[in-house]
Structure 1
Amino acid sequence: MTNTFFGQIDPPQRLLMGPGPVNAYPRVLRAMAADMLGQFDPEMTAYMNETMALYRNVFMTQNQWTFLVDGTARAGIEAALISLVEPGAKLLIVSAGRFGLLLSEIALRIGAEICTLELPWGQVATLEQIEQALITHKPQVFACIHGDTSTTMAQPLEGVGALCRKYGVLSYADVTATLGGMEVAVDRWGIDVVSGGLQKCMGGPPGSAPITISDRAAQHIMARRHVEAGIRGANTQDGARPRIPSNYFDLAMVMDYWSEDRLNHHTEATTMLYGAREAARIMLEEGLPARFARHKSAGQAMVAGARALGLQVFGDDAHRMTNVTGIWTPEGVKGEQVRAQMREDFGIEIGTAFGPLAGKIWRIGAMGYNAAKPKVLLTLAALEACLAVQGYKAQRGAGVDAAMATYS
């Protein structure tokens, strides 16, 4: 057996302008370098309480139950669904992209009866379509993706929570791709459970999933709590709701952990909490209106630059996410070669696509720390240069000029 020596990690510098992850704020990375604390140290539990308070502002909610699920954004999605949806219960899903399909994949493992509101990739559901689906299927839970990076479209959520309450349905939305970059107005929308991630507009690393839960949903989740004998007291009585079929993703137990009771469930991911806390501080210092405007400006500049280069932008402007832009690969251009050259020659990463859009569009993000004028202009300039190598004809400098004009 040979001894293999691996050197210190020294990754190449990349400007991450894809659909996520993106470059983290330096302040977030510095916060994550702080020393460890014990999980029940009063300083640590104070940081937990501060993080809850910060994310109430980020989510624009008064929900008491606003905290972190340890794990990537998908951990938040799975914790939400497995804690809300009982085996055999009906779950209505808006399916209009890769991440709508993800909701179905998770629900299948739960044993839910899955009903879908199917739409072509790139379309969004109207309130009328959602209401008709609620009437037709009579689900226990409604679930959707707010911003699906696979299609770069944002599902309008105004009025969705009220519709779900009208028909006695619990509601869930994933806001991983929009939290910190677009308005996530949880209380105004009336959505019961909303979860996100750090690695996109929040400008942190993947590994923590902020989540917020309404009192209505909390009651439903706590009714499924089955305490562990000898650890948390006696078992619940017969006839209780079906137990949540996960230990780690049991939100009732995680809520106990984040409560003032501090009932042990797991060891909090200390460095991730530091990073999540700092990401929220940065956002709130900037101010929500300014934050959303900065992302909107970056997205508008990217769209204008692409169109000035003669490129076709995917989807409709009315429902486009402000932070991710889909661009059709021009005929005769090898999309993967463009991506490779941008990475190798310019140190810039842009994304490819999934499913029916695989190999057909690029996905370019301008999120969090990277939703900035210089980074948008650099990306457009690099894209233009790489297209020219493949013989694509465009007026040189037109993309950068058009993007600059939107800023002025």
Structure 2
Amino acid sequence: MGPGPVNADPRVLRALSTPLVGQYDPVMTGYMAQTQALYREVFATRNDATLLVDGTSRAGIEAALVSLVRPGQRVLVPVFGRFGHLLAEIAQRAGAEVHTIGTTWGQVFPTSVVEEAVRRVRPHLLAVVQGDTSTTMNQPLDELGDVCARHGALFYTDATASLGGNPFEADAWGLDAATAGLQKCLSGPPGSAPLTLSDRAVEVVRGRRRVEAGIREDDDEDVGEPIGSNYFDLGMVLDYWGPRRLNHHTEATSMLYAAHECARVLLDEGRQKVVDRHARAGRAMLAGVRGLGLGVFGDLGHRMHNVVAPVIPDGVDGEGVRGALLHDFGIEIGTSFGPLRGRVWRIGTMGVNARLDTVLTTLAALEHVLRRAGVPVPPSGGVDAAADAWAEG
């Protein structure tokens, strides 16, 4: 019950045990095509360039940034938590001229602040985290696509922690690129990074020279400088997933099966119904934490549906509470880092765990552990408040 990874859906675990097939078996290419179609629905996009990057969600982030940005180009990153710093670091490693704007952890950026920075910096790319689990905040994205369009910038978001459990509309919001992971609201294991690129982003990627020594040298595509990574060169990955099926890497077959099933699980339930379930479970957990008398960190008007950050009571050993929950009840909740280290816990309600029974069990266990730690919590205060909030729908 932490900020991820969370328990995988049993259907996804079964998919992982599917026998392997060859990379060019028609069944394999069929699964790849099906997975692309499924994630177009998950991302709410018509982008043809929708695929998987093999690796954890950070692999998707790195593939997007190193393929979209040339050395010396400007990248603007609004930082409101740990993972904004990650985007800035990866862009810097790609040779970009990185500009950041900051805000207090626990807050998000008004559109006007981002637009002022875009106007001032004139970036090639605006890179924004949607949901940052370090702060539990969810940055609104719905107006930023228009900002980027007005100022000629590409628009990228890392939706690792938010996709599936919070509203996400790639096309309607004007996103040029988005990446995610399976291990949060999609109820899968870490190891595969869904990615989607707009036609405009594909043109930028295709403008980079792609050469794999000894295998191919496409002189007609010899434009500009090659990117510094072979593995994360999205131009080559697009050729692998596209109709040409040019060999690039050995697809992580079992993770393909898992990603395919994660999308099927979500779409079988219904995309909006999954978002609503996360919202309902998140409201119940928030009410339960408050019912135990705990404060909650951050601007709750912009909190992600799937993570809440209770403030650790004064005098309480936060790591001791986490250890007792894990060893006595088999429940894991998250710690924090940076300016929030030792100040908050992070409790997730995401994926297959966004359910009433998991919320109530976690709160009952937390009440017991807090009482043993000397905190005067109201008897059944968390469970009762959560059950009431859930009943409200």
Q: Quote the Cα distance in structure 2 between the aligned partners of 1:282 and 1:48.
A: 17
Separation in structure 2 between the aligned mates of residue 236 and residue 361 of structure 1, nearest angstrom: 55
SS in 2 for 1:187: coil
* 8 Å Cα contact 1:225/1:253 also seen in 2: no
Q: Does 1:383 align with 2:366?
A: yes
Aligned equivalent of 2:344? 361
Moved more, 144-153 or 121-130: 121-130
Q: Please give the per-residue CA displacement for 1:203-223, whole angstroms capped at 9, x wherever unaligned.
A: 000000000000000000001
Match for residue 310 of structure 1 among 280, 283, 293: 293
Question: For residue 49 of structure 1, what is the aligned residue in structure 2?
Answer: 33
Partner of 1:294: 277
Q: CA deviation at 1:119?
A: 1.0
- Give matches, 1:249-260, under 5 Å: 249-260=232-243
User: Quick one: which amino acid aligns to residue 180 of structure 2?
Assistant: G
53 and 237 in structure 1: CA distance in 2 versus 1, 3 angstrom threshold:
closer
Q: Aligned partners of 1:97 and 1:219: how far apart in 2? A: 31
Distance in 1 (CA, whole Å) between partners of 2:12 and 2:140 is 30
1:242 shift after superposition: 2.6
Matched, 1:268 2:251: yes
In the superposition, relative to structure 1, how do residues 230 and 324 fare at CA in structure 2: closer, same or farther (>3 Å)? Answer: same
Check the 8 A contact 1:226/1:235 in 2, yes or no: no
Instruction: Indicate which of 152, 157, 162 corresponds to 2:136.
Output: 152
Could you tell me how far apart the structure 2 residues matched to 1:204 and 1:264 are? 27
Aligned-residue offset at 1:229: 5.4
Tell me what 1:69 maps to.
53
Equivalent-residue separation in structure 2 for 1:233 and 1:151 (angstroms):
46
Matched pairs, number: 391
Looking at structure 2, the residues matched to 234 and 155 of structure 1 have their Cα atoms a distance apart, in angstroms, of: 41
Deviation at 1:100, TM superposition (A): 0.4
C-alpha separation between the residues in 2 aligned to 1:262 and 1:371?
A: 38
The answer to whether the 8 Å contact 1:224/1:243 transfers is yes
- Letter matched to residue 333 of structure 2: I
Q: Which residue of 1 aligns with 2:224?
A: 241
Residues 211, 226 of structure 2: 8 Å contact kept? no
1:83-122 residue pairs with structure 2 within 5 A? 83-122=67-106
CA–CA distance in structure 2, aligned partners of residues 145 and 236 of structure 1: 36
Structure 1: state its 5+ residue gaps: 1-16
5 Å matches for 1:22-33? 22-33=6-17
Deviations 1:275-304 (A, max 9, x none): 000010000000011101100011000110
For residue 349 of structure 1, give the secondary structure of its aligned residue in structure 2: coil
Query: What secondary structure, in the 3-state scheme, does the structure 2 residue paired with 1:86 have?
Result: coil
Give distance in 1, aligned partners of 2:86 and 2:169.
23
The match for 2:380 among 397, 403, 407 is: 397
How far has the Cα of 1:166 moved from its partner? 1.2
Hey, what's the Cα distance between the residues in 1 that align with 2:324 and 2:210? 54
User: Would the aligned equivalents of 2:55 and 2:192 in 1 still touch at CA under 8 Å?
Assistant: yes
Deviates more, 1:266-275 or 1:101-110: 101-110
Contact 2:209 2:221 in 1 (8 A): no
Distance 2:221 2:321 in 1: 61
User: In the alignment, which residue of structure 2 is the partner of 1:186?
Assistant: 170
Q: How does 1:271-286 map to 2 (within 5 A)?
A: 271-286=254-269
**TM-superposed deviation, 1:397:** 0.3
Secondary structure of 2:72's match?
coil
> Contact between 1:228 and 1:234, CA under 8 Å: does it hold in 2?
no
Amino acid in structure 1 at the alignment position of 2:380: G
Q: Is the 8 A contact 1:145 1:174 kept in 2?
A: yes
Partners of 1:126 and 1:75 in 2: how far apart? 29
Structure 2: 5+ residue stretches without partners: none
Partner of 1:3: none
Match of 2:146 among 124, 142, 162: 162
Letter in 2 for 1:307: R
Instruction: Give SS of 1:116's match.
Output: strand
Name the amino acid aligned to 1:322: H
Find out whether 1:78 has 2:62 as its counterpart.
Answer: yes
Percent of aligned pairs with the same residue?
56
- Indicate the residue corresponding to 1:223 in structure 2: 207
Q: Deviations over 1:297-346 (max 9, x none)?
A: 11000110011111001112210000000111011111000000000000
1:82 deviates by 0.4
- How far 1:237 moved relative to its partner? 7.1
Contact 1:226-1:236 at 8 Å conserved across structures: no
Alignment pair present for 1:329 and 2:318: no
Q: Shift of the alpha carbon at 1:230?
A: 4.5
Answer yes or no: is the 8 Å Cα contact 1:19–1:363 preserved in 2.
yes
* Secondary structure in structure 2 of the residue aligned to 1:186: coil
Deviations 1:39-74 (A, max 9, x none): 111110000000000000000110000010000000
* CA displacement, residues 353-372 of structure 1 (integer Å, 9 cap, x when unaligned): 01000111000001001001
For 1:247 and 1:92, how far apart are their aligned partners in 2? Answer: 25
Does the Cα contact within 8 Å between 2:207 and 2:221 map onto a contact in 1?
Answer: no
Residues in 2 aligned to 1:350 and 1:343: alpha-carbon distance in whole angstroms = 8
Q: Determine the C-alpha separation between the residues in 1 that align with 2:158 and 2:66.
A: 14
Answer whether contact 1:55 1:280 (CA < 8 A) is retained: yes
AA matched with 1:21: P
TM-score with structure 1 setting the length: 0.94
Per-residue CA deviations over 1:114-170 (Å, capped at 9, x if unaligned) read 100111111111110111001100111110100000000000000111211111101
Q: What is the aligned counterpart of 2:195 among 188, 192, 211?
A: 211
Post-superposition offset of 1:228:
3.2
CA contact (8 A) 2:296 2:311 kept: yes
